[in-house]
Amino acid sequence: MTIATRQFDALEAARGARELIEYCYSQGWTDGLPVVPPVQEFVDEFLAQTRRDPDEVLMVQAHLDRTCNVRQAAINAVMAGCRPEYFPVLLAAIDAFEASGAPRTNLMQSTTGQAELLIVNGPIRTELGFNSSGNIFGPGDRPNATIGRALRLIVMNALGIRPHEFDQSTQGTSAKYACCIAENEEDSPWEPLHVERGYAAEASTVTVQMIRSDVYVEHRSSQVPEEILATLADSMSSAGLWTQVTDKRNLLGAVVVIGPEHAQLLARQGWSKRDVKQYLFEHFGKTAGELRRYGKLPPEVAAADDATFVPCTTSVEWLMVVVAGANNGGVSTICPSIMTGREIGQHGTREIARAP
């Protein structure tokens, strides 16, 4: 084949690909970005990565009469731009998401407009090339970008929760395009999330948690653990995050993504991950006086005096702490979460099973 012939073939192929991409747009299958056309051959490559039956149902939206099975997951993984070897990660993510209980609530249809945060742990991070150390919430790394995107495409295409219809987000969040990070276990001074949850260090896992956004938190000028943690707790507790849908107070949770510099500073001064979570739990809230000033004092504590501390949550278990990002600055991130109808800590993690 000559170079000229290859160029000609490439041009024809590109025209054909564009035509198929436009077809996918016309079918309403995309998130606004182009997708890879999910032809059967591609889908079969993904299904070959698992022993699970293509018809096995993974998620159910009973009130919408919609489900997602293994085949639909593969189709959306192809469209999202995943490589076939990513598919076991996506299957584990769907299992974790289902186990978290979130898909059985109305959260994906809520005006709060929440995203699915995926956290990957274990050796698979390096085997597949996940980014865990720099620009973790930003673009640039295929496993993070495409696996996160695949789960959102499944929500839209398989579960039928699309914007302007069943997705009733008032503003949503850009994290709904894709939000998949990996823990920076190498730069973390603490046990990683999956070990904290009882998995072997050699296991690879994915954890899924619905979040409202990712909130930047900076403290570069202190070596005092309490100053850094108080800054994190303040960001977790900001007035805008307090939810008032009914007279009954909605409890809040948070995924606290601590940058390595903060984590190492805390650990050097003797703070374990448990100590950090306990401090954040005890300072996760506002005084009644502050809430009164914002007009957000929950009715159940309406008579409280100004100094009374009103906690956002009831248990340290509603906080998740992971270490991720580059070890190059005093920056961390809070991913706020509403705790309605599901748990944050104990169920939303699954081991990634790879076909032999």
Partner 1 sequence: MADGTIFERKGLQTAAIVTHTFGRPADAMARVQGYPGYRYVMMTHPISSLDANQVRERAKAVLPEVLAILGVEDATPAEEPRHDDRYAPVRRA
Would you tell me which residues interact with partner 1 (CB under 8 A)? Answer: 63-65, 109, 160, 163-166, 168, 244-245
165 vs 305 by CB, closer to partner 1: 165
Whether the Cβ atoms of residue 136 and residue 228 lie closer than 8 Å to each other: no
Please list, in sequence order, all residues whose beta carbon lies within 8 angstroms of the beta carbon of residue 301, skipping any fewer than 6 positions away. 249, 288, 308, 310
65 vs 305 by CB, closer to partner 1: 65
Residue 102: CB minimum distance to partner 1, A: 18
Whether the Cβ atoms of residue 244 and residue 168 lie closer than 8 Å to each other: no
Residue 342: CB minimum distance to partner 1, A: 19
Cα–Cα distance, 161 to 193 (Å, whole number): 30
Residue 164: CB minimum distance to partner 1, A: 5
169 vs 287 by CB, closer to partner 1: 169
Cα–Cα distance, 318 to 342 (Å, whole number): 10
244 vs 346 by CB, closer to partner 1: 244
Q: Which residues of 285-294 are buried (b: 16+ CB within 10 A; e: fewer)?
A: bbbbebbbee
Burial class (CB in 10 A: 0-12, 13-18, 19+), 32: exposed
39 vs 245 by CB, closer to partner 1: 245
Whether the Cβ atoms of residue 103 and residue 97 lie closer than 8 Å to each other: yes
169 vs 327 by CB, closer to partner 1: 169
Compute the half-sphere exposure of residue 337: CA atoms within 13 Å on the CB side of its CA: 28
Cα–Cα distance, 61 to 234 (Å, whole number): 36
2 vs 26 by CB, closer to partner 1: 26
> Which of 243, 253, 257 is CA-nearest to residue 184?
257
Amino acid at 73: A
247 vs 305 by CB, closer to partner 1: 247
32 vs 356 by CB, closer to partner 1: 32
Residue 98: CB minimum distance to partner 1, A: 20
Instruction: Write the DSSP symbol of residue 167.
Output: B
Residue 109: CB minimum distance to partner 1, A: 7
Residue 243: CB minimum distance to partner 1, A: 11
Written in H, E and C, the secondary structure of 23-81 is HHHHCCCCCCCCCCCCCHHHHHHHHCCCCCCCCCEEEEEHHHCEEEEHHHHHHHHHHHC
User: What does the DSSP assignment read for 214-279?
Assistant: -EEEE--S---HHHHHHHHHHHHT-GGG---SSSSPPPEEEEEEE-HHHHHHHHHTT--HHHHHHH
Whether the Cβ atoms of residue 161 and residue 155 lie closer than 8 Å to each other: yes
Residue 63: CB minimum distance to partner 1, A: 5
Residue 129: CB minimum distance to partner 1, A: 36
Q: Tally Cβ neighbours within 10 Å of residue 159.
A: 21
66 vs 142 by CB, closer to partner 1: 66
Residue 163: CB minimum distance to partner 1, A: 7
Residue 306: CB minimum distance to partner 1, A: 23
